[in-house]
């Protein structure tokens, strides 16, 4: 009997020890006692965590705060600012700042930090940021006192409030520094919901909750970002318990839909994929080749891309503003799949089919290449499918799968872009001649004029008219060959609550953590 009692005591001790071990090592669960709730999610690698140098990825939005932020409906609302006024006569914004904000190092946040950040964006010629053209209409930033700052514009800019959602940087740590190369970019200090802890290059970034945060404090105390750029590897890590949450491509997400241990959060996004062409490359500088861009769309079965590559998780694309209900112009030519019209247009342009079944003109075959990065499975699959569709109709598009884009020599690439908030943010910087994010060197005077008109008015009806003009001009002379809009298929363990799937997300489905303070791990 004594032996039995001893055995039972021993067995119970073993069970309790194992239970404690599970609680300690379980990924994404609340640990025993007062230990942290941890969310581990997957991401591609980072070059910088500086908010004005990295405007697409999730971590800077957790570390930094802006004067404004976007709510779940995409509206610009106050963040570091408690309120603001706008004097349209003098084009002056007056922002009143929260008085209880400190930087993660304990120093007070003041209006000087706002001026410092905006001065960098508008005056620092060495700054390599795709957003700088969004701030060129700021004429002056005036510090009134520690908690009041005036932003004076040189001309109307209807997108300015949305642009002021960019993260503010600490003057006391960066004044006089080379912002492009300072160690701050790998060891940032912000005012946001989470504080930076560590960065193991190529492996992980760790954040901890900012308990001095001025707003609602998150339930999740620690966030670990694991660097897993390969989409298939993310799915494998979810299955093995290595991560709790990840954006997956549609095919990988499908495998989790009937798994009771996971939840698939399906978001709409403003994120499209297209064949982008480099106008720096001699091939597309040739007028005969450039004239093909409005025509090639008829040779692409976009619905087949959505059905096969995206497993139905997307929409055929025709315009950069297609997901903007207020400003989208549905009457433009959607370039739906039409082989006969494609052949007709090619004949009108003087192209004829050669003996090998490939179009030619003036003795030159219609042959070009498109790059897709090897870790972006959906882009690779899209490129391959479009190449096969083209080949059937006489266009030779070779797919070059690369670890990173060869910007100086590439002819074309599978490109991605998004305009989830004000339409200016996904158009002006990308399509205006020589604008800060116009990587393909696209240029069209009618597009330039329409986008300047849209940015420069506060009249909604005039803006709509201007964006209609933009979409008509862009449709006639497209910068890209549009393919599809993607849904954002995030997969998380069933212990995660809080993501709001009625929110329209941005490029690479960014913005999912907009309400991280409302998330929890059960």
Give the domain CATH number at 147. 3.40.190.10
pLDDT at 231: 83
Work out the widest C-alpha separation in the chain, in whole angstroms. 100
pLDDT at 10: 41
User: Which whole-number Å values give the CA distances from 376 to 230, 349, 411, 448, in the listed order?
Assistant: 7, 35, 19, 32
Query: Which residues have C-beta within 8 Å of that of residue 251, sequence separation ≥ 6?
Result: 309, 311, 377
Residue 521 lies in a domain: no
Read off the tokens for 139: 């004429």
Query: Which residues have C-beta within 8 Å of that of residue 320, sequence separation ≥ 6?
Result: 272, 417, 419, 426, 427, 430, 431, 474
Read off the tokens for 57: 């990825």
Total of domains in the chain: 3
pLDDT at 28: 46
pLDDT at 496: 98
- Does residue 3 sit in the same domain as residue 75? no
Residue 126 lies in a domain: yes
Block residue for tokens 């581990």:
40
- Does residue 219 sit in the same domain as residue 70? yes
CA proximity to 233, closest of 245, 223, 244, 248: 248
Residue 444 lies in a domain: yes
Read off the tokens for 334: 């959607």
Alpha-helical (H) ranges within 26-110 are 58-63
Domain boundary among 226, 256, 277: 226
- Does residue 303 sit in the same domain as residue 394? yes
d(CA 316, CA 307): 10
- Does residue 280 sit in the same domain as residue 388? yes
- Does residue 24 sit in the same domain as residue 49? no
- Does residue 431 sit in the same domain as residue 289? yes
Domain region containing 19: 1-35
- Does residue 178 sit in the same domain as residue 292? no
Residue 276 lies in a domain: yes
CA proximity to 63, closest of 191, 166, 172, 171: 191
Residue 260 lies in a domain: no
d(CA 270, CA 110): 34
Read off the tokens for 361: 């003109």
- Does residue 322 sit in the same domain as residue 412? yes
Residue 241 lies in a domain: no
Asked if 218 and 74 count as a contact pair (C-beta separation under 8 A), the reply is: no
Q: What angle do CA 418, 421, 427 make, to 5 degrees?
A: 50
d(CA 354, CA 148): 69
- Does residue 472 sit in the same domain as residue 399? yes
Q: Is 14 helix (H, G, I), strand (E, B) or coil?
A: helix
Length of the chain: 522
- CATH number reported for the structural domain that contains residue 427 in this entry: 3.10.105.10
User: Which whole-number Å values give the CA distances from 196 to 37, 46, 204, 210, 211, in the listed order?
Assistant: 16, 14, 12, 9, 13
CA proximity to 438, closest of 409, 465, 407, 463: 407
User: How many C-beta atoms lie closer than 10 Å to residue 494's C-beta?
Assistant: 11
Query: Which residues have C-beta within 8 Å of that of residue 258, sequence separation ≥ 6?
Result: none
Model pTM score: 0.90
Residue 440 lies in a domain: yes
Q: What angle do CA 129, 130, 136 make, to 5 degrees?
A: 85
The pLDDT tens digits along the chain (522 residues) read: 434 334 333 444 433 443 333 333 334 444 444 568 999 999 989 999 999 999 889 999 999 999 999 999 999 999 999 999 999 999 999 999 999 999 999 999 999 999 999 999 999 999 999 899 999 999 999 999 999 999 999 999 999 999 999 999 999 999 999 999 999 999 999 999 999 999 999 999 999 999 999 999 999 999 999 999 888 899 999 999 999 999 999 999 999 999 999 999 999 999 999 999 999 999 999 999 999 999 999 999 999 999 999 999 999 999 999 999 999 999 999 999 999 999 999 999 999 999 999 999 999 999 999 999 999 999 999 999 999 999 999 999 999 999 999 999 999 999 999 999 999 999 999 999 999 999 999 999 999 999 999 999 999 999 999 999 999 999 999 999 999 999 999 999 999 999 999 999 999 999 999 999 999 999
pLDDT at 35: 66
Residue 354 lies in a domain: yes
DSSP string, 259-288: -TTEEEEEEEEEEEEEEEE-TTSHHHHSHH
pLDDT at 42: 97
CA proximity to 341, closest of 290, 291, 294: 294
Asked if 505 and 512 count as a contact pair (C-beta separation under 8 A), the reply is: yes
């Amino acid at each position: 009997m004594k032996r039995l009692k001893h055995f039972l005591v021993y067995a119970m001790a073993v069970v309790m020890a194992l239970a404690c071990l599970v609680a300690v090592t379980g990924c994404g669960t609340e640990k025993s006692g007062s230990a942290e709730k941890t969310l581990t999610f997957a991401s591609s690698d980072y070059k910088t965590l500086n908010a004005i140098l990295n405007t697409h990825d999730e971590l800077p939005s957790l570390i930094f705060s802006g004067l404004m932020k976007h709510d779940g409906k995409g509206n610009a609302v106050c963040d570091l600012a408690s309120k603001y006024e706008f004097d349209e006569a003098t084009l002056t914004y007056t922002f009143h700042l929260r008085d209880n904000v400190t930087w993660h190092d304990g120093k007070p946040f003041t209006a000087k930090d706002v001026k410092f950040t905006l001065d960098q964006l508008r005056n620092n010629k060495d700054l390599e940021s795709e957003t700088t053209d969004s701030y060129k209409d700021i004429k002056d930033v005036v510090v009134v006192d520690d908690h009041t700052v005036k932003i004076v514009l040189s001309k109307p800019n209807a997108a300015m409030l949305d642009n002021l959602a960019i993260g503010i940087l600490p003057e006391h740590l960066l004044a006089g520094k080379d912002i492009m190369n300072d160690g701050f970019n790998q060891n940032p200090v912000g005012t946001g919901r989470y504080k930076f802890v560590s960065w193991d290059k190529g492996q992980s970034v760790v954040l901890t909750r900012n308990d001095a945060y001025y707003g609602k404090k998150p339930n999740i105390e620690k966030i670990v970002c694991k660097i897993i750029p390969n989409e298939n590897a993310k799915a494998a890590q979810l299955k093995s318990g290595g991560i709790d949450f990840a954006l997956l491509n549609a095919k990988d997400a499908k495998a989790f839909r009937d798994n009771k241990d996971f939840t698939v959060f399906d978001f709409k996004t403003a994120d499209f994929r297209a064949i982008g062409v480099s106008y720096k490359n001699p091939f597309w500088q040739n007028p005969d080749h450039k004239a093909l861009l409005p025509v090639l769309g008829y040779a692409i079965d976009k619905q087949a891309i959505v059905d096969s590559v995206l497993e139905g998780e997307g929409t055929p694309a025709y315009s950069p503003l297609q997901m903007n209900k207020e400003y989208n112009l549905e009457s433009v030519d959607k370039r739906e799949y039409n082989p006969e019209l494609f052949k007709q247009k090619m004949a009108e342009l003087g192209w004829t089919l050669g003996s090998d079944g490939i179009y030619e003109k003036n003795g030159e075959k219609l042959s070009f290449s498109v790059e897709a990065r090897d870790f972006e499975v959906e882009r690779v699959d899209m490129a391959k499918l479009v190449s096969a569709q083209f080949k059937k109709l006489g266009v030779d598009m070779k797919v070059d799968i690369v670890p990173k884009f060869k910007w100086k020599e590439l002819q074309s690439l599978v490109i991605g872009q998004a305009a989830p908030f004000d339409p200016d943010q996904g158009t002006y910087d990308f399509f205006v001649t020589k604008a800060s994010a116009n990587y393909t060197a696209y240029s069209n005077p009618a597009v330039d004029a329409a986008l300047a008109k849209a940015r420069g008015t506060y009249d909604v009806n005039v803006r709509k008219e201007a964006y209609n003009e933009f979409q008509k001009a862009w449709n006639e002379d497209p910068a890209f060959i549009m393919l599809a809009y993607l849904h954002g298929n995030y997969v998380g363990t069933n212990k995660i609550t809080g993501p709001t799937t009625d929110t329209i997300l941005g490029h690479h489905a960014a913005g999912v953590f907009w309400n991280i303070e409302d998330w929890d791990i059960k």
